[in-house]
Amino acid sequence: MMRFPPFFKTSLGVRLLRGGLVLLIAVGLVLSGVAQPFLSGFDVRQLVAILVVQPIILIGLALQGVRHALLIDRPGLSYLAATKAVALSQGLNLLLPARLSEVLKATYLRDRAGVPMSAGLSAVLLERTVDLIIVGFLGGVCLFFFAAMVSKTLIFVAFVFVAGVVALALWGQRKVLGLARALPWPKIGEFLERGYLHFSSSLRRPKFLVSLGLGVFIWGLSFFNIFLLIEFAGSIPIGLYGALLVFVCTTMGGAIPALPGGLGTYEAAAVFALMSLGYPFSDALILAVTIHVAQLVLPLILALMVMLTERLGLSSLISDLRSDVASRRE
């Protein structure tokens, strides 16, 4: 008798598989006819470019796993497990909207390595804080070179958000803990308190500076990745400064919580940047899709491998929450 992996026995697994099947059917229908005129613009250069950058993307995923493990700072947590969590999150971001796949990092490591949810989610918040600091700096560089093309409002909002989060973590402990303890739901309050304390203490540790350095290197790899893609697949040379503009615009476009995976907003941002650098619309669109596909292929494959062979931790989390609610009622 055929035995299915544990993931297929969960309701979430069934929903994600259905979603993946619908996505594949939709892609098949599109490729069968609707997108033929568009795909006629692709040639071997795009395929070569996508393949060339995959080793860089793999190195970036591995370094993100190391950074995630450092920010969690829990003995016994392997870098491999953390890298799998990162790949799972990035791959399933194609199926889940509004970056909800970030939660899977915490649920997977809770089930796999016994990492508390509060520690896992605070590590995710620390990662986003590091990333916003770096993106804010890159946005400032873009403002220097392309002042008329980059939204100053977005850069300002990102800076204010990061400054506010860091200020609350370092100097707002009494207010944050008071707010958490005043909540009418004790379990949620305790969860928020543990998460905040982990986040606040992590900002003061030397490992946070190490993770900041790793973040700079990871983002540098991402920039080099896009530069190579444009060099291999692009029709107009735009140099390092032009690639930087494309990199910052696609980062901001992909961060907009619209469709899963930043689909649509990522391409729109890339087309905007490329057209401002002299690309015609048709060439800009083809290159934008090539750049985005190159970022998604490897994480999606790795995420599917993890899904098919391991538990995601959601079923055990839901079971624990139900048990806790039942015990409180008794």
Q: What is the pLDDT of residues 128-174, one digit of tens each?
A: 877 877 777 777 767 666 655 555 566 666 667 667 766 776 667 77
Dihedral over alpha carbons 268, 250, 291, 231 (to 10 degrees): 110
Of 49, 108, 92, nearest to 296 (Cα)?
A: 92
As a whole number of Å, the CA-based R_g of the chain is 21
The yes-or-no verdict on residue 271 having pLDDT over 90 is yes
| Of 15-19, 40-44, 141-145, 255-259, minimum mean pLDDT range | 15-19
The yes-or-no verdict on residue 275 having pLDDT over 90 is yes
Spatial contact of 250 and 226, defined as CB atoms under 8 Å apart:
yes
Hey, CA dihedral for 251, 252, 253, 259, is it positive or negative? positive
Spatial contact of 266 and 286, defined as CB atoms under 8 Å apart:
no
What's the rounded Cα separation, in Å, for the pair 80 and 174?
37
147 vs 226, higher pLDDT? 226
Average pLDDT of the residues of the chain: 77
Spatial contact of 290 and 229, defined as CB atoms under 8 Å apart:
yes
The yes-or-no verdict on residue 19 having pLDDT over 60 is no
Of 308, 313, 300, nearest to 121 (Cα)?
A: 313
The yes-or-no verdict on residue 31 having pLDDT over 50 is no
Q: Report CA-CA distances (Å) from 177 to 29, 169, 232.
A: 52, 11, 52
What's the rounded Cα separation, in Å, for the pair 242 and 150?
12
Greatest Cα-to-Cα distance within the chain, rounded to the nearest angstrom: 69
The yes-or-no verdict on residue 284 having pLDDT over 60 is yes
Tokens 């650098």 map to which residue?
Answer: 277
Give the confidence band of 29 by pLDDT, cuts at 50, 70, 90: very low
Question: What's the whole-number mean pLDDT along residues 166-185?
Answer: 73
Query: For residue 285, what are the contacts with CB-CB under 8 A and spacing of at least 6?
Result: 38, 267, 271
Q: Report CA-CA distances (Å) from 246 to 2, 218, 225, 277, 292.
A: 48, 17, 12, 9, 12
Q: What angle do CA 319, 321, 324 make, to 5 degrees?
A: 110
Query: What is residue 330's predicted lDDT score, i.e. its pLDDT?
Result: 57
| Both tokens assigned to 94 | 């194609």
Hey, CA dihedral for 132, 138, 245, 83, is it positive or negative? negative
Neighbour count for residue 106 (Cβ, 10 Å) = 25
The total number of residues shown for the chain amounts to: 330
What's the rounded Cα separation, in Å, for the pair 172 and 156?
22
239 vs 25, higher pLDDT? 239
The yes-or-no verdict on residue 324 having pLDDT over 70 is no
Neighbour count for residue 181 (Cβ, 10 Å) = 12
Q: State if pTM tops 0.75.
A: no
Tokens 């799972």 map to which residue?
Answer: 88
What's the rounded Cα separation, in Å, for the pair 90 and 99?
9
9 vs 82, higher pLDDT? 82
What's the rounded Cα separation, in Å, for the pair 11 and 13?
5
Query: What is residue 183's predicted lDDT score, i.e. its pLDDT?
Result: 78
255 vs 49, higher pLDDT? 49
Query: What is residue 165's predicted lDDT score, i.e. its pLDDT?
Result: 67
Query: For residue 283, what are the contacts with CB-CB under 8 A and spacing of at least 6?
Result: 41, 234, 235, 236, 274
Q: What is the pLDDT of residues 80-90, one digit of tens each?
A: 999 999 998 99
The yes-or-no verdict on residue 231 having pLDDT over 80 is yes
| Both tokens assigned to 201 | 């203490």
